[in-house]
Structure 1
Amino acid sequence: MAPDEVTEQPVWEEPIPLSGPRHLPPFPVHVFPAWLGEFVTAVAEETQTPLDLPGSIALSVLAAAAGGRAVVHVRGNWREPTNLYVVCALPPANRKSAVFALLTDPLYEAERQLKAQMAPAIVEAALTARLAREAADKAAAKAAGADADKREQLVSDAVGLAQTAESLTVPVEPLLLADDSTSETVTSLISEQGGRLAVMSAEGGIFDIIAGRYSGAPNMEVFLKGHAGDRLRVNRQTRREYIDHPALTIGLAVQPDVLRDIAKVRGFDGRGLLARFLYSMPVSLVGEREIVTDPIPESVRIRYERNVVTLTLALAEWTDPAVIQLSPEADKALIAYQQRVEPQLKVRGGALGHIANWAGKLAGAVVRTAALLHLAEHLDTGHTKPVTVDTMQAAISIGEYFTAHALAVFDVMGADPTVARARAVLEVLRTEGWQDVSRRDLFTKLSRSEFPNVTDLEPATTLLEEHGYLRAYQPERTGARGRPPAPRYRVHPALMEVTA
């Protein structure tokens, strides 16, 4: 039957949006140790911000304190560092800077105390190095002007003094936090600081820097290796820096548009940078906030500041990272969680298949989170106790929270190619105004970069059928012989007014 001979007038229901609002759970602050959960809750109350914002930043603060100073031994050769990349996306006017300051102030206090502790050693080492260089220079000058019979011994003495001077190093001032620094600066700072650094900011400028704002080309090596702890070596004419196990922590609060923009940066997804972040995208409270709020109780604030400083200073003394073990029960809980997640990574049919690059790192993120919660519970003795099953279950709850939010964030980024292609088909259907169309005619109007072959249409049209935008049917034969007619689609009559 030809399209204009179709007499059936089907009843259409309202189509389902292609990416309807996902259920975004609130941050599970109840799984934090009491001192941390109380402060996060109090900050959210005073600033009238979602718990997700201070909760996410609190994880970054723990990671800044522990990153590069503690690792988790899971099983076999599997070890995880304790640094994290966390980003919380909220629109403007959500008091991100105020929350950031409240959560990160103790890190700056810990940094100040570390600097005060190191100051005498730095002064002594600097003076010793200067005197050694001066002694070597004097010895070299004396050898240069000596008689031949004395020169050999004086040269030997000068060489020895020069070698001694060269071997002396002056410690750098301790630095825990950096703001939006260039990739080269971050690399140098990690090298100077014994392999660890935290980049914390209430803005998303670091993404612009990684994308090449100053260099003209993306430079993400340190951000890739700094998350995984892979050996980083820089050999250039001006500098050589070797970092065996870099541990970089990133904690950001950005506007949602930043996440949309970074998804378009070439290389961010392909090289796995986007897969390294834990994402939070809470609902803004602007317009529903209370004007008069309860301030943070002084005892809660003091306890938080004291504990963050204690944890930071206790771990700062470790040059070889403290090794944290899992209890057998915690490992069993982790294995059960991995067994639940693994089938979801399937490209076809897996709930996390379209973000498998991100979800494939989820178990590692849960292990890191468990270690941070464990250290927060045992501030200066965490390395002497194994992670309990309760702590692992708490970390799994946080992992499930970030999974739900990651799905929403990657929706914003357009990570699911089938959904993206379905939107392209919808746009063509709207533009052409078809009520009934053949697959071939539809294919001719689509971009070959998205749909190289007519068979590439099938996943997109199937999705549109499932959502009520299209109805496929098989036209009747017009003759007794030959191939059956190609499939056709009836198009929702109100498509022009529907927003997917």
Structure 2
Amino acid sequence: MSQETFSPMSNEDWSQPLPLKEGPTLLPWPQDAFPETFELYVKELARSTEVPIELPAMLVLAGVATVMQSTFEVQIKDDYSEPMNLWVLGILPPASRKSKIYTDVTAPLRKWEYEQRLKLEPQITSTESQKKTIEARLKTLRSSGTKGMTDFAFEELQRKIEQLENSIPEIPKIPQLWTADITPEHLGTIMAENNEAMAILSDEGGIFDILGGLYSGGKANIDLFLQGHSGSPVRIGRGSRAPIFLNRAVLTMGLTAQPEVIKTICRNSTFKGRGLLGRFLYVIPHSNIGHRKLDVAPMPGSVRTEYQNALRTLIDNSCSIKRTGVGIGKLKLSQASYQKWLEYSKLIESLMGEELGHLSHITDWAGKLSGAIARIAGLLHCMRYCAEDPSRHEIGIDDMKSAVQIGHCLTNHALIIFDLAQADSSMEIAKSILSWALGEQRQSFKYRDCQRKFRRYKKGDLRTGIEVLKEHEIIQEWKLQPEVGRPSDVFELNPYLFDKSKENEGQKGQ
């Protein structure tokens, strides 16, 4: 076109626009999924911090798993049990208060570890002193020389040295429930020192960099992590250092990260090929940023105290049970719970088949969902009976129903996560441009205005998004040639888009 303005095309010249691919709609988090004390805490923490409830809910599950994973497992059938550890990954953009949630939820764990340190430090100091004294005595004996010594004297010296070596005290290890960052090489060591269990809890996704080979020359090392998800036996030979033997390694992960982390880790062929990504339970709720009131009332102190006391009781009871030396306890399902679990497991199985196809593209994740539901039911059961030994009761139908509801919601989030990971960047850019244009009720826009709005995209990438919109007959491109100056690219929006918007507004008003 040679003029500075142009006349829009008539409706007859347009075809109906082709829809851009849309992912599944987020399902609401199930109401009253947790026993009362934990449910009230999760709701209040979400309300007072103005974050989506999915984030505190899943981190609380990870916190309880941290405590119970080394004490119990869920016995589904005589020959099939599930450990009670979970891998949780919450995805939210920056400034979503992820750190606040993480800090609040893990406070009882940090307090317990701090108290153990205070309790053991005097004993550690005393033991270290004893060890140094014995080692000094050993050094003196060994340096006394054996020249001219009779056989009897030599044997006596050797006996004294062996006696002293056997009397070297073992320095107590401060109990540890969790860590934030750790190399795979060191993970085995601290698991061996802490009942073959550990949790990685972090408000950042840095652990993925470590797993991807940050400290190992770019070579991914994830074997122990994978084994820790399933509670497998582990044998680690480490050259000059003592080998590590774990009969039942269990690892919980409770992580939060930004959306870009998902795309990054999904590009790692080792993570994808070895099944690391299929072991996480994901939540990617809608962000509240831009809609927060900022002046909401704080959480009542009594709600936080009751949660902290309940989780501390779980810690103390878990320690007491482990001290009895009876081994890993079994949490059994009631008959009704088992039937509910079996019914949902069969549904998941059918959804993974090609006939229905709903979960056929994420079978690596969906194939572990039945086990995850059993684990969640066991954790809810432990919350319910936090003041006593939960193995005295069968896992009831209410907790299994809640676990199934949570599993249904997590399936919805997983579909969104894997769509995001596999999303074509040009499609995502196209959606962003269309959302901007419709949001500002633009019937047309200039390319340079679009560039100013989306500075985060490279010029070439922005153009690919434009091409997607053209291919879907959502926009038409024109050349606007002013009398003076360079020509401009102008894009007219399909008028059917605005007719649809008006129709939707009319329906809302009825």
TM-score between both structures, scaled by the size of structure 2? 0.75
Match of 1:104 among 106, 130, 142: 106
Q: CA deviation at 1:211?
A: 1.0
Q: CA deviation at 1:234?
A: 2.1
Q: Any residues of structure 2 matched to 1:138-177 within 5 Å, and which?
A: 144=146, 147-151=149-153, 153-155=155-157, 157-158=159-160, 160-161=162-163, 164-165=166-167, 168-177=169-178
Match of 1:374 among 354, 378, 381: 381
Moved more, 192-201 or 114-123: 114-123
Moved more, 225-234 or 137-146: 137-146
Moved more, 387-396 or 176-185: 176-185
Q: Which secondary structure state, in structure 1, belongs to the residue aligned with residue 304 of structure 2?
A: helix
Relative to 1, partners in 2 of residues 1:35 and 1:126: Cα closer, same or farther, differing over 3 Å? same
Moved more, 329-338 or 402-411: 329-338
Moved more, 406-415 or 50-59: 406-415
Task: Return the alpha-carbon distance in structure 2 between the equivalents of residues 69 and 125 of structure 1.
Answer: 29
Task: Return the alpha-carbon distance in structure 2 between the equivalents of residues 133 and 115 of structure 1.
Answer: 25
For 1:442-470, what per-residue CA distance to the aligned partner results, in whole angstroms no more than 9, with x for missing partners? xxxxxxxxxxxxxxxxxxxxxxxxxxx9x
Match of 2:328 among 299, 321, 325: 321
Q: Any residues of structure 2 matched to 1:181-200 within 5 Å, and which?
A: 181-200=182-201
Match of 2:226 in 1: 224
8 Å CA contact retained: 1:48, 1:289: yes
Q: Which secondary structure state, in structure 2, belongs to the residue aligned with residue 268 of structure 1?
A: helix
Relative to 1, partners in 2 of residues 1:345 and 1:155: Cα closer, same or farther, differing over 3 Å? farther
8 Å CA contact retained: 2:18, 2:474: no
Task: Return the alpha-carbon distance in structure 1 between the equivalents of residues 127 and 299 of structure 2.
Answer: 43
Q: Any residues of structure 2 matched to 1:482-497 within 5 Å, and which?
A: none
Match of 2:412 in 1: 404
Relative to 1, partners in 2 of residues 1:253 and 1:149: Cα closer, same or farther, differing over 3 Å? closer
8 Å CA contact retained: 2:19, 2:472: no
8 Å CA contact retained: 1:344, 1:353: yes
Task: Return the alpha-carbon distance in structure 1 between the equivalents of residues 292 and 84 of structure 2.
Answer: 35
Give aligned-pair identity as a percent. 30
Q: Which secondary structure state, in structure 1, belongs to the residue aligned with residue 420 of structure 2?
A: helix
Match of 1:73 in 2: 75
Match of 2:276 among 273, 276, 282: 273
Q: CA deviation at 1:385?
A: 1.6
Is there any run of 5+ residues in structure 2 with no aligned partner, and where? 1-11, 431-467, 478-492, 495-510
Q: CA deviation at 1:50?
A: 0.6
Q: CA deviation at 1:300?
A: 0.5
Q: CA deviation at 1:127?
A: 5.4
Task: Return the alpha-carbon distance in structure 2 between the equivalents of residues 252 and 156 of structure 1.
Answer: 54
8 Å CA contact retained: 1:178, 1:198: yes
For 1:379-424, what per-residue CA distance to the aligned partner results, in whole angstroms no more than 9, with x for missing partners? 1321222111111111111111111100110101118xxxx7x98x
Relative to 1, partners in 2 of residues 1:265 and 1:55: Cα closer, same or farther, differing over 3 Å? same
For 1:139-169, what per-residue CA distance to the aligned partner results, in whole angstroms no more than 9, with x for missing partners? 6567946732423641552364156247x53
Task: Return the alpha-carbon distance in structure 1 between the equivalents of residues 395 and 190 of structure 2.
Answer: 31
* Counterpart amino acid of residue 309 in structure 1: R
8 Å CA contact retained: 1:280, 1:405: yes
Match of 1:462 in 2: none
Is there any run of 5+ residues in structure 1 with no aligned partner, and where? 1-8, 427-468, 470-490
8 Å CA contact retained: 2:281, 2:414: yes
Task: Return the alpha-carbon distance in structure 2 between the equivalents of residues 405 and 63 of structure 1.
Answer: 21
Task: Return the alpha-carbon distance in structure 2 between the equivalents of residues 281 and 160 of structure 1.
Answer: 60
Q: CA deviation at 1:98?
A: 1.0
8 Å CA contact retained: 2:20, 2:472: no
Q: CA deviation at 1:183?
A: 2.1
8 Å CA contact retained: 2:146, 2:154: no
Q: CA deviation at 1:29?
A: 4.9
Match of 2:292 among 289, 308, 319: 289
Task: Return the alpha-carbon distance in structure 1 between the equivalents of residues 148 and 299 of structure 2.
Answer: 74
Q: Any residues of structure 2 matched to 1:435-454 within 5 Å, and which?
A: none
For 1:16-35, what per-residue CA distance to the aligned partner results, in whole angstroms no more than 9, with x for missing partners? 333x1312123225110111
* Counterpart amino acid of residue 399 in structure 1: G
Match of 1:250 in 2: 253
Q: CA deviation at 1:69?
A: 2.3
8 Å CA contact retained: 1:347, 1:354: no
TM-score between both structures, scaled by the size of structure 1? 0.77
For 1:355-394, what per-residue CA distance to the aligned partner results, in whole angstroms no more than 9, with x for missing partners? 0011110011111111111111111321222111111111
Q: CA deviation at 1:132?
A: 5.4
